[in-house]
Amino acid sequence: MGLNHLVSQLLTPKHLTSCFFDVFIHDIIHPSHTLKRPPQVCLMSLSQIHYYCLFLFTWFTGPCHPNPCHNRGMCEISETYRGDTFIGYVCKCPPGFSGVHCQRNVNECEREPCKNGGLCTDLVANYSCSCPGEYMGRNCQYKCSGPLGMEGGIISNQQITASSTHRALFGLQKWYPYFARLNKKGLVNAWTAAENDRWPWIQINLQRRMRVTGVITQGAKRIGSPEYVKSYKVAYSDDGKTWRTYRVKGKDDDMIFRGNVDNNAPSANSFTPPIEAQYVRIYPQVCRRHCTLRMELLGCELTGCSEPLGMKSGHIQDYQVTASSIFRTLNMDMFTWEPGKARLDKQGKVNAWTAGHSDQSQWLQVDLLVPTKVTGIITQGAKDFGHVQFVGSYKIAYSNDGERWNVYQDEKQGKDKVFQGNFDNDTHRKNVIDPPIYARLVRILPWSWYGRITLRAEILGCTEEE
């Protein structure tokens, strides 16, 4: 008995009407009225509560069944030709695959996506970059080797502790751990461990987890004699209680780093792989005379996007830096505190920007030329003929067109965020901008100050490539 005859015997026409609906075939929706050869006999009761579809066996044949496309490629009916042959279908390949039938895994490493010496590994429809210690990011595009603040003062005295402190001259001369700053000057200019300290260490609390990619060490002279650390180990911790010693890659042996050979020349060591931790300790192993140390840690925020954008280096040119007003000492042009001089660590008698007015309407603006991810700002004061001047607090505004400005908000408080600034004329003060700003123009809006509004600064961030 034929199928159509069977249906006509079971259901009479007066009780049924045609039903039209979409049919799923190989995960593709086909409206039933568009099919050249309807694959089913579809009948619906007049009440439209039930419908009956009797599929014809002939539907399960054709160029897309079975699916000729590999790796989850999608087969589509297509009146196309491959050479002189009509094939009747085309394979739509997912990302990472190519070929007539999506059979070839594309080697993403062929386009050399990994920068700065990164090693590319091809994966299925993807790739990964193994970056050298001082680089990070999906494509090793972020350099992570900036000073974390021992020399500049971003790391405060309270963040630096040690196992002991050497006291000389009947206890009058104390070589505290917070003197262990790279290139520190003065009679007492380093940390020295106590003579009876058999296992000395010095510790830096970074106050948050950071990526540490290296360390620079330096000795000093004490009572005219060179003292320095010849070798040392490094340990790190997230809570200051549980410590891990940095080890030789692939082994269980503690890494012993080579230190200094004299009291003044800096010696640098890198961490590959880098350390990610809040606390870092240096454990001197062999010292000349006493264990005396000056140092700097190198690294960046965990995001990697915290590079200096060019105020200090000059990559940001003078014309890109403008201000609301300018001060002239003694009203003389040679003592003009122009915005282009507002560069971190700038030296000279006139080495910063000073506003012409002391009010909260003043601003210093940096044009980054293109929309940029800004993740932090470092500020610094200056001296005007011996007078200490600095910005004690400030707000941040940003814009892409110079007309519509947004003031950075404190999300918890629901109001403008006031960032803590400097407390003297020379120490660096770093503020992290989290969440970051995406903008071309950035303004620092002084909110409180000492003396006149005076500022040297650096903008931190990156131009995102992904």
pLDDT at 459 over 70: yes
Domain membership flag for residue 69: no
Domain membership flag for residue 337: yes
pLDDT at 5 over 60: no
Return the pLDDT at 25.
44
Mean pLDDT of 184-201: 96
Mean pLDDT of 33-52: 45
The label of the residue with tokens 């200094």 reads 260
Tell me: do 113 and 222 sit in the same domain. no
Domain membership flag for residue 66: no
Q: How many domains are there within the chain?
A: 5
Tell me: do 275 and 374 sit in the same domain. no
Tell me: do 326 and 250 sit in the same domain. no
pLDDT at 168 over 60: yes
Q: Are 118 and 89 in contact (CB under 8 A)?
A: no
Tell me: do 364 and 455 sit in the same domain. yes
pTM for the complete prediction? 0.70
CA atoms within 13 A on the CB side of 425: 17
Domain membership flag for residue 68: no
Q: Are 419 and 393 in contact (CB under 8 A)?
A: yes
Return the pLDDT at 306.
87
Tell me: do 197 and 241 sit in the same domain. yes
Q: What is the pLDDT of residues 295-317, one digit of tens each?
A: 999 999 988 888 899 999 999 99
Rounded Cα–Cα distance for residues 91 and 100 (Å): 7
Tell me: do 86 and 23 sit in the same domain. no
Tell me: do 135 and 150 sit in the same domain. no
Q: What is the pLDDT of residues 75-106, one digit of tens each?
A: 988 877 766 666 788 899 988 888 889 998 88
pLDDT at 38 over 60: no
Between residues 223 and 268, the one the model is more confident about:
268
Domain membership flag for residue 67: no
Q: Give residue 14's pLDDT band: very low, low, confident or very high (50, 70, 90).
A: very low
Tell me: do 211 and 158 sit in the same domain. yes
Q: How far apart are the first and last CA of the chain?
A: 65
Q: Which residues, at least 6 apart from 265, have a Cβ–Cβ distance to it below 8 Å?
A: 218
Q: What is the pLDDT of residues 375-399, one digit of tens each?
A: 999 999 999 989 999 999 999 999 9
pLDDT at 244 over 50: yes
Tell me: do 251 and 194 sit in the same domain. yes
Between residues 278 and 52, the one the model is more confident about:
278
Which of 300, 315, 333 is the last residue before a domain boundary? 300
Return the pLDDT at 6.
38
Return the pLDDT at 194.
96
Domain membership flag for residue 65: no
Q: 351: domain CATH number?
A: 2.60.120.260
Tell me: do 152 and 193 sit in the same domain. yes
The candidate with the shortest Cα–Cα distance to 209, out of 262, 257, 280, 110, is 280
Tell me: do 185 and 314 sit in the same domain. no
Domain membership flag for residue 330: yes
Q: 139: domain CATH number?
A: 2.10.25.10
Tell me: do 98 and 217 sit in the same domain. no
Q: Give residue 134's pLDDT band: very low, low, confident or very high (50, 70, 90).
A: confident
Domain membership flag for residue 133: yes
Q: What percent of the chain has pLDDT over 90?
A: 64
Q: Which domain covers residue 115, as residue numbers?
A: 108-143
The candidate with the shortest Cα–Cα distance to 339, out of 311, 358, 368, is 311
pLDDT at 219 over 80: yes
Return the pLDDT at 42.
46
